Structure 1
Amino acid sequence: MGLRARALAYTMVAAPLVWMLAVAITVHSAYNEIDELFDSQLVRIARQVQTLLPSASIGQLALGGAEPLAPAGSAAGAADLKDLSVAVWNAEGQVLMADREGVTLPRLPDAAGFRDLQVGSADWRVYYLQSSHGRWLVAVGQSLHERDELVGGLLLAQILPWLLMLPLLLLVMGAALRSALQPLASLSQALAQRDPQGLDPLPAAELPPDLRPLVEAMNGLFARIDNTLARERRFTADAAHELRTPLAGLRAQWDAARLQGGPPGAGLDKIGQGLDRLARLVQQMLALARVEHLEHLGPVQAVDWPAVVATVVDGLWPQAEAAGVDIEVLDLAADTLPLQGDAALLGVLLRNLLDNALRHAPRGSTVTLQGGPGRLSVLDRGPGVTPEQLARLGDRFYRPEGQAGSGSGLGLSIVRRIAALHGLAVQWGPRADGPGFAVQIRRA
């Protein structure tokens, strides 16, 4: 159901409910006002009759006698005398005076004030007035049908115009809703006509205040999508450039091995090294692509750093033996860098740091993994980097010139991204206690 149809449906349900509540309040108020008006009339008539009784020549009316003639034609106006009656009794209970309807009123000797009675088959409201000396009792009554009829007329006067105006109300509301929802329709049309690559922000200044949060949220989404696509394009361009070099090298080594006349062992070794480099590059690119697309971590849990470090060191031990480098773990405890996070990603972070240190550490040296309160450090005794190279470390596919170790130039980029996802900061630079390089992870 569309917004316009839903709003009209809600109005069709809510309007009658509100109207019925208003009618109920009006009916209650009308009954109070009408009761007050007619009760005042009954009291006034009773007092006037009692005032005239001492000077009147009163005799009992003959019940079977001739009835008084009612005014004919328009002389009666809109009066309905059958709904009003007057009766007077003396102390002995004899009827001193009564109109045609008054003879049916019951005599209640001790009554004073208003009584709601059943007279015949109709409900009546009767006012009894006792004389001060007890010589007579005056009763003035009115049929409640008269009051109900008046309230019913008022109710009909409210219901009928509302029912007659309901179609016009729906037409006006439909037009009003169409006009009110026009900015939303224009926004939908603008989005439908957009080019798939069009991620420019939508103008929000001229929109109604209710639509601005929606448009601002959409603009934020467009910005995030644009950043993601820019990263994808940059990653694809970098990957194509970086993959071209090892593939060209492999092709050249294969041609050299195929054309040389001697044993192919040396050529095949170079091809194997190229394949290893290519496999590592693809692995690092996949890891970077994975962490680059994460906006935030999924379910996290307490990180057991000793277990993470043990797993990573065991996996890198063959590489350390081949490079002739020892791995040293110092001051590592369960509370080292207490953190809630993803242990698998933190293992990737630590593996990249240690792998980088092993590639640049000289044979016979030691790579140190050192824990501490709120920090974790990886130190090596490699040649270090110049200040110019230090400024570019962490850029994707950047490898300082003159380094003998092979690499993809993605390790520190991956480390920095995983640390950012965990709210950690990464610092690197020359060691303070001598030659070498140091990387420290701490709370941001």
Structure 2
Amino acid sequence: MKFTQRLSLRVRLTLIFLILASVTWLLSSFVAWKQTTDNVDELFDTQLMLFAKRLSTLDLNEINAADRMAQTPNRLKHGHVDDDALTFAIFTHDGRMVLNDGDNGEDIPYSYQREGFADGQLVGEDDPWRFVWMTSPDGKYRIVVGQEWEYREDMALAIVAGQLIPWLVALPIMLIIMMVLLGRELAPLNKLALALRMRDPDSEKPLNATGVPSEVRPLVESLNQLFARTHAMMVRERRFTSDAAHELRSPLTAL
């Protein structure tokens, strides 16, 4: 508290604004992160379900596992592709894999008890994944589509950062503008302080309150009243001293 009292009003107001802006930014970031992650999870869960339904429309009875998986490309030569964005596999009811995406789908562990959404891991990995399991319309195959949780978190973080980083970059500019505006608004107080330093002790001229903030105007008016009373008192004291000197001088003259 003592440290802040030694600071100027402009610095204190700037610090208060900075603290409030930072707290607001943190709270906004948390709320935005929560809402974005919920929306991203809902969006990608819908995507997983739609992709699983699309796979279920294939004629799975004609699938030749060896030929189909051999024809599935592992990488694309052009474009930006994230291997964790989406993966899939198709199993028979006895757990035999008949088709996958040629990448992470090969490591999806089979589960005959799951139906719908579930969390899990790939074989030999600890990273959490989001899976949706679906049985084909003929009941012969189990379809699973998965996505890594980290991919969703990175996507949500990118969205939140895209919204909040510009505001964070603008914060120093806002601080500079605020300090300039505070300096401009406090300029009448500096002029008032200069007028007090240059003022003659016996001056009866009131202080100029033009441009002074309304919060400080009562102080200026009180000072002007004080100066007026002080000047009147000094005038009375001088008159009294003059009269007393005259009264003392008259008897001495007679002697």
Distance of 2:98 and 2:73 partners within structure 1: 20
- Cα distance 1:231–1:29, how it changes in 2: closer, same or farther (>3 A)? farther
Q: Which residue pairs with 1:278 in the alignment? A: none
Residues 91-140 of structure 1, C-alpha deviation per residue, up to 9 Å, x if partnerless?
33332432232232233323233222233232211122245664333221
Q: Which residue pairs with 1:113 in the alignment? A: 116
Aligned length: 245
Give the 5 Å matches for 1:34-49: 34-49=40-55
Report if the CA contact (8 A) 1:85-1:142 is conserved.
yes
SS at match of 1:73: coil
Taking structure 2 as the reference length, the TM-score comes to 0.78
SS at match of 2:49: helix
Q: Return 5+ residue gaps in structure 2 as ranges.
A: 1-6
Q: Which has the larger radius of gyration?
A: 1
Residues 239-297 of structure 1, C-alpha deviation per residue, up to 9 Å, x if partnerless?
5466x39x949x98xx8xxxxxxxxxxxxxxxxxxxxxxxxxxxxxxxxxxxxxxxxxx
Q: Which residue pairs with 2:24 in the alignment? A: 18
Q: Which residue pairs with 2:56 in the alignment? A: 50
Root-mean-square deviation (Å): 3.3
Using the aligned pairs only, state the percent identity: 33
Greater relative contact order: 1 or 2 (C-alpha under 8 angstroms, separation 6 or more)?
A: 2
SS at match of 1:153: helix
Distance of 1:223 and 1:60 partners within structure 2: 106
- The residue type equivalent to 2:147 in the other structure is Q
Distance of 2:175 and 2:13 partners within structure 1: 11
- Cα distance 1:228–1:115, how it changes in 2: closer, same or farther (>3 A)? farther
Report if the CA contact (8 A) 1:88-1:95 is conserved.
yes
Distance of 1:227 and 1:126 partners within structure 2: 91
Distance of 2:236 and 2:131 partners within structure 1: 92
Report if the CA contact (8 A) 1:58-1:97 is conserved.
no
**1:3 matched to 2:6:** no
Distance of 1:97 and 1:72 partners within structure 2: 19
Pick one of 186, 196, 208 that aligns with 1:191: 196
Report if the CA contact (8 A) 1:86-1:141 is conserved.
yes
Structure 1 residue 28 displacement after superposition: 1.7
Pick one of 157, 166, 171 that aligns with 2:176: 171
**1:86 matched to 2:88:** yes
- The residue type equivalent to 2:72 in the other structure is P
**1:136 matched to 2:141:** yes
Distance of 1:238 and 1:109 partners within structure 2: 118
**1:104 matched to 2:107:** yes
SS at match of 2:87: strand
Q: Return 5+ residue gaps in structure 1 as ranges.
A: 256-444
Structure 1 residue 144 displacement after superposition: 1.5
Report if the CA contact (8 A) 1:23-1:155 is conserved.
yes
Higher helix share: 2
